[in-house]
């Protein structure tokens, strides 16, 4: 098999994704373009199922939609609103810390530069890239477990962790695909290309996939 025709694969996934459920953070983007809500939703989504993230986001933003409004809530109140997201106690504390930084250093606005976002408490490269691309429409490549796994499974990259995958994709993936790449692969991973026993028999790009690392499929 030659090199993966990534443009063809992305176009096929783009068409197929119309019938797939949108990732939770993308749902927030569809409802609002507010960078602050997108940032906080990204934080809530870490190690949490999408349906749980979506419910927590709705409850939280029903009470507070700005950094100042969020600080007006106690951490206990935030914990109750976002439960049962993963690590909800730590995330409630992080939300307060992020809001303090936004008000103290950025005049209450979410920065649109990757390096500035990475200075916020609890914000790693995955979250920072997601905010840059989803909230601001700027170039970035967000790599989570789905993007890392599927990019390697397709044989497009050969990397050991998400950071290596991001760096490899920045060198290899055409920039016109950067922003949508995460949304497509997350939805693909949640719907068909599961970590174990993926639905290869239903996969729209099966003919291009070498199934790297796949030992069992359906």
Catalytic residue among 126, 171, 172, 183: 126
pLDDT digits (tens, 9 = 90+) for 6-41: 999 999 999 999 999 877 777 777 777 899 999 999
Is residue 70 within 8 A of residue 64, CB to CB? The reply is yes
Same domain (yes/no): 59, 10: no
In this structure, are 73 and 129 located in the same domain?
Answer: yes
Residues 13 and 93 reside in one and the same domain: no
Q: Is 144 a catalytic residue?
A: yes
Annotated active-site residue in 50, 91, 144, 183? 144
**Mean pLDDT, range 52-79, rounded to an integer:** 96
Contact at 8 Å (CB) between 74 and 49? no
Can you give the residue range of the structural domain that contains 179? 6-20+141-208
- Residue 122 burial (10 A CB sphere; 0-12, 13-18, 19+): middle
User: Same domain, yes or no, for 38 and 108?
Assistant: yes
Q: Are residues 93 and 129 in the same domain?
A: yes
Output the domain CATH number for residue 124.
1.10.340.30
Assign residue 186 the CATH number of its domain.
1.10.1670.10
Residues 113 and 53 in one domain: yes
Q: Say how far apart CA 152 and CA 169 lie, in whole Å.
A: 11
Q: Distance between CA 110 and CA 99 in Å, rounded?
A: 9
Residues 105, 160, single domain; the answer is: no
Question: How many structural domains is the chain composed of?
Answer: 2
126 labelled catalytic: yes
Global confidence as pTM: 0.88
Calpha distance 161→125 (Å, rounded): 13
pLDDT score, position 22: 78
Q: How far is CA 34 from the centre of its chain?
A: 16
Mean pLDDT of the chain: 94
CB 151 within 8 A of CB 132: no
Mean pLDDT on 111-125: 97
């Amino acid at each position: 098999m030659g090199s993966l025709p990534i443009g063809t694969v992305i176009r096929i996934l783009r068409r197929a994704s119309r019938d797939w459920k949108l990732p939770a953070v993308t749902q927030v983007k569809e409802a609002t373009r507010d960078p602050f809500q997108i940032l906080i939703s990204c934080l809530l989504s870490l190690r949490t199922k999408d349906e749980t993230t979506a419910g927590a986001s709705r409850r939280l933003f029903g009470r507070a939609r700005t950094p100042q409004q969020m600080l007006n809530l106690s951490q206990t109140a935030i914990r109750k609103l976002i439960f049962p997201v993963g690590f909800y106690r730590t995330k409630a504390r992080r939300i307060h810390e992020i809001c303090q930084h936004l008000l103290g250093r950025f005049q209450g606005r979410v920065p649109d530069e990757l390096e500035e976002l990475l200075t916020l408490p609890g914000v790693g490269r995955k979250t920072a890239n997601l905010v840059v691309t989803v909230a601001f429409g700027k170039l970035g490549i967000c790599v989570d477990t789905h993007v890392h796994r599927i990019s390697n499974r397709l044989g497009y990259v050969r990397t050991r962790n998400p950071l290596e995958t991001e760096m490899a994709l920045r060198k290899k993936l055409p920039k016109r695909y950067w922003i949508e790449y995460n949304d497509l692969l997350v939805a693909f991973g949640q719907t068909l290309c599961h970590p174990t026993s993926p639905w290869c028999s239903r996969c729209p790009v099966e003919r291009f996939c070498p199934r790297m690392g796949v030992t069992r499929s359906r």
